[in-house]
Amino acid sequence: MKKIALVTGATSGIGKATSHLLASNGYDLIVTGRRENLLNDLVKCLIVETGAEVLPLCFDIRDQVQVEKAVDSLTGKWEKVDLLVNNAGLAVGLEPVQSGVVDDWERMIDTNVKGLLFMSRKISSGMVARESGHIINLSSIAGHEVYPNGAAYCASKHAVQAITKTMRIELLPYGVKVSSISPGMVDTEFSLVRFKGDKQRAENVYKGLTPLYAQDIAETILFMATRPQHVNIADVIIMPTDQASARDFRRR
Ligand code: NDP
Ligand code: 8X3
């Protein structure tokens, strides 16, 4: 029987590329996001291109009621999620704390931390009962380092690291793997979202250097997900060659 993967934030960027790669490599998929049109387009494309079975779940991960309703709607084989990729997340704004926008902080913390917890809570309970499964959390270089104007985002990704490490201990008795992947700069809709639709500012982030692409992260996630049962890749820090830290870049 094919394994089931659930990828949050599959409408764009890393989640979309990961969904394509998992579907091409023997997984049936549950894909989630808020933008229903993009989700439906993705489902059609995945079915045609890969022959995988694909189920869309459209909801806002910040809303616990929506998360519970969506996961509770799963029946039959879809209830048995083998791989959860906790990918949905975002940065909003780039401001020092003294002039930070509280709504931006709330969006980041509610999505990156609480949303990831809501999903993990619902999906890991089945993994515990079945004594099998794998959770891969999208962390960031910002989960290991900090940079000015990024307090709330860095805090949210440090929280992802803490949740990952805690869950790895909690799920140890049940043989459930918990991993994180911590990318540096990846060219997705991330910067467009961070700068609230300012295309020029978003493009400047990647100017003069070669960033990572979503496919690079998807390939690493597939590798992590397909190790033998006795191997758990705990965390992967993956950077563009043109980036040495959260603050050091080689631009030409
Ligand atoms: P994108 O903006 O391209 O994709 C983000 C995805 O998250 C979208 O599918 C979006 O779907 C989903 N999402 C955001 N908010 C919500 C919400 N409230 N409810 C449900 N889904 C939501 O960014 P990336 O692909 O780059 O980001 C994916 C992950 O990778 C994030 O966790 C990010 O922090 C992390 N990351 C990104 C890096 C980068 O440089 N790009 C580097 C390191 C980590 P929709 O809008 O349809 O809801
Ligand atoms: C995204 C990478 O450096 O913008 O997580 O925080 S960074």
The catalytic site residues sit at 153
Q: Which ligand is nearest to the CA of 182?
A: 1
| 78-120 pLDDT tens trace | 999 999 999 999 999 999 999 999 999 999 999 999 999 999 9
What's the gap in Å between 246 CA and the centre of ligand 2?
7
pLDDT score of 123 more than 90: yes
Whether 86 lines ligand 1, by a CB cut-off of 6 Å, is no
Ligand 1 atom nearest to 89, measured from its CA: 32
State the Cα–Cα distance between residues 81 and 74, nearest whole angstrom. 10
The answer to whether residues 141 and 246 touch, using CB atoms and an 8 Å cutoff, is yes
Angle of helix 116-130 relative to helix 64-72, nearest 10 degrees, comes to 30
- Report the Cα 201 to chain-centroid distance in Å: 23
Nearest to 15 by CA among 99, 137, 107: 137
What's the gap in Å between 62 CA and the centre of ligand 2?
20
134-138 and 3-7 beta bridge pairing: unpaired
Q: Which ligand is nearest to the CA of 91?
A: 1
- Helices and strands, counts by H and E, the chain: 9, 9
The answer to whether residues 176 and 135 touch, using CB atoms and an 8 Å cutoff, is yes
Residue with the smallest CA separation from ligand 1 atom 36 is 140
Residues 6+ apart with CB under 8 A from 194: 90, 91, 92, 93, 94, 202
Ligand 1 atom nearest to 15, measured from its CA: 25
What's the gap in Å between 111 CA and the centre of ligand 1?
9
Which of 7, 14, 94, 161, when mutated, tests ligand 1's pocket best, judged by the most ligand atoms within 8 Å of its CB?
14
Question: What is the pLDDT confidence band of residue 183, given thresholds at 50, 70 and 90?
Answer: very high
Percentage of the chain modeled with pLDDT above 90: 100
Ligand 2 atom nearest to 154, measured from its CA: 6
Q: What is the mean predicted confidence (pLDDT) over 202-206?
A: 97
Ligand 2 atom nearest to 191, measured from its CA: 4
pLDDT value at position 15? 98
Sign of CA dihedral 60, 24, 239, 202: negative
pLDDT value at position 1? 87
What's the gap in Å between 2 CA and the centre of ligand 2?
34
Nearest to 22 by CA among 62, 53, 67, 60: 53
Residue 180 to residues 12, 58, 131, 190, Cα–Cα distance (Å): 19, 24, 20, 18
CA angle 109, 145, 168 (to 5 degrees): 65
- Report the Cα 87 to chain-centroid distance in Å: 1
Q: Which ligand is nearest to the CA of 151?
A: 2
83-86 and 27-33 beta bridge pairing: unpaired
pLDDT score of 232 more than 90: yes
Dihedral (C-alpha) 227, 177, 186, 55: value to the nearest 10 degrees?
A: 90
Question: What is the pLDDT confidence band of residue 218, given thresholds at 50, 70 and 90?
Answer: very high
The answer to whether residues 19 and 46 touch, using CB atoms and an 8 Å cutoff, is yes
243: its two tokens: 């980036």
CATH class of the domain whose range is 3-238: alpha beta
Q: What is the mean predicted confidence (pLDDT) over 9-34?
A: 98
What's the gap in Å between 179 CA and the centre of ligand 2?
19
